[in-house]
Amino acid sequence: MSISQTTEVPNADHMPAATQGRHVWRNFIIVAVAVAVVPLITSSQYYLHVAILVLINSTFSTSLSIIARTGQLSLCHAGFASVGGYISALGAMRLGIPPVFGIFIGGAVAGLVALPLGWIILRLRGVYFVLVTFTFGQLLTLLALDLQSITEGANGLVGVPPLSIFGYAFVDRVPFYYLAAGFAGLVFLFTWRLLGAPAGRNFTCVEENLQLAESTGIDTRKTQVIAFVIGSFIAGMGGALMTHYIRYISPDSFTFWSSVAFITMMVVGGRWALAGPFIGALIITPLPELLRDTGGFQHIIYGAILILVLQFLPDGIASISQRVKAISRRRAQP
């Protein structure tokens, strides 16, 4: 009956929240320092460009993992990134809305689109949900192509203004790199707080046992819609940030293949670990560059990596350290 009983926790997998919190902070600070020194190590514009893509992609895979926590896999994550990108770009170019606000508006619109969509389609489970999100993603791409008077169709929007804060424009690689790092850090911290909070725990309850969750009084549908809207909101912001960085957006900027890449990042890195989606982005983002010479084999290699990881490391690369610990523990006490 006494709450103090919670302190006697011998099992390392279930440390008290405070200790776990300290671990997360420690690792976060280590990674943040590592991220911060990258521009000091290399002055190559090309490497910095890839590093920026890693950071922005990590926000896509992380936000996708929020949705995945409730047991649903969205194949239109890139579609929501595209919505955010177009909204923010159009706002800046046609209405003169500063991109710094445009990013939030882009995210909000993506979230607003996700809300009714999620409400309608989240009653579908498994492959049916995946199929509908796939179709919806294609629909968004077609819209961007066909609404020529607004989106310039296949030509895309050229000359999207850069992001600027208090008159300072983030045009150069190094400042933008730190901006992207700040955004990625915020998304990570937000996700950590969200998943640790009761609302976030409900996400996992729904994933683990939908029927029990509903009978425990958790509104499972509402929970999934909330996760879908939050994830899509972040994707919209990420898409907007990307658009103001590349300064260009077209229907080819965020496609079905981008959604697949985000899923690959999330799974390869590790769905259940907080840092997993980031690790995945770090590994998968440079791949197209490394694999450029292989031409059409790129997607085959993606698929092969996905299959290998699911076969041998179903919880992703983030689970390696736990596995090693488990093995050494077994060795230590035979």
Partner 1 sequence: MSASLEVQNVGKYFGGLKALNGVNFTIQPGQIFGLIGPNGAGKTTAFNVISGVLPPSKGDIRLNGESIVGKKPSRIVDKGLVRTFQQTMVFPGRTVLENVIAGAMVKEEISLAASIFDTKAAQDARNRAEEHAWEALNLLGIGHQAHIRAGDLPYGHQRRLGVAVALSTRPSILLMDEPAAGLNPEEKADMARAITSIREARNLTILLVEHHMKMVMGLCDRIAVLNYGEMIAEGSPAEIRSNPKVIEAYLGKDDYE
Q: Would you give the binding string for partner 1 spanning residues 207-236, x where CB under 8 A is met?
A: -xx-xxxxxxxxxxx----x----------
Q: Which stretch binds partner 1 (CB under 8 A): 72-80, 187-195, 261-269, 305-313?
A: 187-195
How far apart CA 289 and CA 81 sit, in angstroms, is 22
User: Per CB under 8 A, does 152 bind partner 1?
Assistant: no
Specify whether the CB–CB gap between 86 and 284 falls below 8 A.
no
How far apart CA 258 and CA 265 sit, in angstroms, is 10
> Token pair for residue 157?
């929007």
Q: In Å, what is the CA distance from 214 to each residue of 194, 203, 208, 210, 220? A: 20, 12, 12, 6, 6
Specify whether the CB–CB gap between 176 and 245 falls below 8 A.
yes
User: Per CB under 8 A, does 193 bind partner 1?
Assistant: yes
Q: Which stretch binds partner 1 (CB under 8 A): 133-141, 146-154, 202-210, 286-294?
A: 202-210
Q: Would you give the binding string for partner 1 spanning residues 2-21, x where CB under 8 A is met?
A: xx-xx-xxxx-xx-------
> Token pair for residue 106?
């882009």
Q: Which is nearer to partner 1, 51 or 229 (CB)?
A: 229
> Token pair for residue 275?
């840092």
Specify whether the CB–CB gap between 114 and 228 falls below 8 A.
yes
For partner 1, the binding residue among 164, 204, 298, 322 (CB under 8 A) is 204
Judged by CB under 8 A, how many residues of this single chain contact partner 1? 36
CB of 209 to partner 1, least distance (A): 6
Residues that bind partner 1 (CB under 8 A): 1-3, 5-6, 8-11, 13-14, 190, 193-194, 197-202, 204-205, 208-209, 211-221, 226
